[in-house]
Chain A
Amino acid sequence: MTVNSANVGIVIVSHSPLVARGAADMVRQMVGNSVPLAWCGGNPAGGLGTDTGAILKAIDEAWSEAGVAIFVDLGGAETNSEMAVELSGEARASRIVICNAPIVEGAVIAAAEASGGASLAKVVATAQELSPS
């Protein structure tokens, strides 16, 4: 099965690998292989936490020229994702958005939108409608 890498990619970053994987399973169930998808969870020692290196790797796995939307759970996941976006280089960084949306609902809705070929801006806006700001 090949992933349609023309569509916006989705990255899921949780403190818990179980949460990240579960959310990714729900995304796959919804959109199959129509969007590039990667997840990571846990700190560099395997405990609860986040790992900038693993986030960089996930961005790479889910990379699409259309861009990547990242979904995070708690604060450290957001800060480490921001760091990873910066470390991924300017060319990529401008096409990655860390979404202000609930991690599970956000990732599923974003993936549904992305599977129809929507732009990164549209994918992000649709997911962020979930979060009153």
Chain B
Amino acid sequence: MIAVEEPRPAIDHAVLTNRLIAACRDVIATREADLCDLDRAIGDGDHGTNMRRGMDALAAESRQLAAMPLSEAMSRAGTILVMSIGGAAGPLYGTFLMELGAALRNVEAWPEALRRAVAAVARRGKSAAGEKTLLDVLYPLRDEVVRHTPLPLLAQRVQGFAEMTIDMQAMRGRASFLGERSIGHMDPGAASCALLAATICRELAEAGIE
């Protein structure tokens, strides 16, 4: 046989969807206790368990999601998270995915779709930047995507975004009841968001997406 240089295989979206879900589920399962600890410090201690339940529900429908067109899969995944997480994180992550799905259905480019999804999360949480929430990861993440930061680099940076919440005072959710005592702890929602974002960036980069 003559050796020929193989063209880069086309991205198989079904395979990628299954991989993304499995990777997200794995990282949350691995860090479940850490996320609960963060939530115990400034909340009710259930964030890791809630996120784990959400990821398990996604994984249970992974095959069906992988068979759907991307925008439809996003919307469905959002609904699954809303129905399974059982805390404020459900509507927040769920709204993010539903809005991404809706934006992609209207053939928006990725940065614009992401911009819309992040804005929808802010509306859902009635929150803004600097209030010690997952938005403090989503806003800088969105900005990096708009600037076309390479995915492997972005994967390294997101943890730093979550760490920025340590010095913030919580203005939303239960952590806000603690007032100044919320300062000095990382926000659990920002932490899970950074874990998921880093995982997704790495998986996409590995799949050859730029």
Q: Specify whether A and B are partners.
A: yes
Are A43 and B86 in contact (CB-based, < 8 A)? yes
Which of B91, B94, B95 has most A Cβ within 10 Å?
B91
Are A83 and B94 in contact (CB-based, < 8 A)? yes
Are B87 and A50 in contact (CB-based, < 8 A)? yes
Whole-angstrom distance from the CB of B143 to the nearest CB of chain A?
A: 25
By beta carbon, the residue of chain A nearest B124 is A79
Query: Considering the chains assembled together, what is the distance between the CA atoms of A47 and B84 in angstroms?
Result: 12
Knowing A49-B50, A82-B124, say if A76 contacts B84 (CB, 8 Å).
no
Does A53 sit at the interface, judged by CB under 8 A? yes
Are B90 and A83 in contact (CB-based, < 8 A)? yes
Query: Considering the chains assembled together, what is the distance between the CA atoms of A43 and B57 in angstroms?
Result: 14
By beta carbon, the residue of chain A nearest B94 is A83
A-contact bits for B89-104, CB 8 A (1 contact / 0 none): 0111011000000000
Are B91 and A43 in contact (CB-based, < 8 A)? no
Does B88 sit at the interface, judged by CB under 8 A? yes
Knowing A52-B91, A76-B87, A83-B94, say if A47 contacts B124 (CB, 8 Å).
no
- The bracket for how many chain A residues form the interface is 10 to 19
Query: Which residues on B sit within 8 Å (CB–CB) of A113?
Result: none
Are B173 and A75 in contact (CB-based, < 8 A)? yes
Query: Which residues on B sit within 8 Å (CB–CB) of A74?
Result: 174
Residue in B46, B50, B53, B88 whose CB lies within 8 Å of A75: B88
Does A1 sit at the interface, judged by CB under 8 A? no
Query: Which residues on B sit within 8 Å (CB–CB) of A51?
Result: 83, 86
Are B95 and A83 in contact (CB-based, < 8 A)? yes
Residues of B in contact (CB 8 Å), total 22
Query: Which residues on B sit within 8 Å (CB–CB) of A49?
Result: 46, 50, 86-87
Are B174 and A75 in contact (CB-based, < 8 A)? yes
Are A44 and B92 in contact (CB-based, < 8 A)? no
By beta carbon, the residue of chain B nearest A83 is B91
Residue in B44, B49, B84, B88 whose CB lies within 8 Å of A79: B88
Interface residues of A in 25-69 (CB under 8 A from B): 43-45, 47-53
Residue in A50, A75, A82, A87 whose CB lies within 8 Å of B86: A50
By beta carbon, the residue of chain B nearest A78 is B88
Knowing A74-B174, A75-B174, A82-B124, say if A47 contacts B91 (CB, 8 Å).
no
Whole-angstrom distance from the CB of B118 to the nearest CB of chain A?
A: 17
Are A45 and B53 in contact (CB-based, < 8 A)? yes
Query: Which residues on A sit within 8 Å (CB–CB) of B125?
Result: 79
Query: Considering the chains assembled together, what is the distance between the CA atoms of A42 and B50 in angstroms?
Result: 12
By beta carbon, the residue of chain B nearest A15 is B44
Does B172 sit at the interface, judged by CB under 8 A? yes
**Contact sample, A vs B, 24 pairs, CB 8 Å cutoff:** A43-B46, A44-B53, A44-B83, A44-B84, A44-B85, A45-B49, A45-B53, A47-B49, A47-B86, A48-B44, A48-B46, A49-B86, A49-B87, A50-B86, A51-B86, A52-B83, A75-B173, A76-B173, A79-B92, A80-B90, A82-B91, A83-B91, A83-B94, A87-B82
Across chains A and B, which 8 residue pairs bring their CB atoms closest together, nearest first? A43-B86, A49-B86, A83-B91, A76-B88, A79-B88, A79-B91, A76-B87, A44-B86
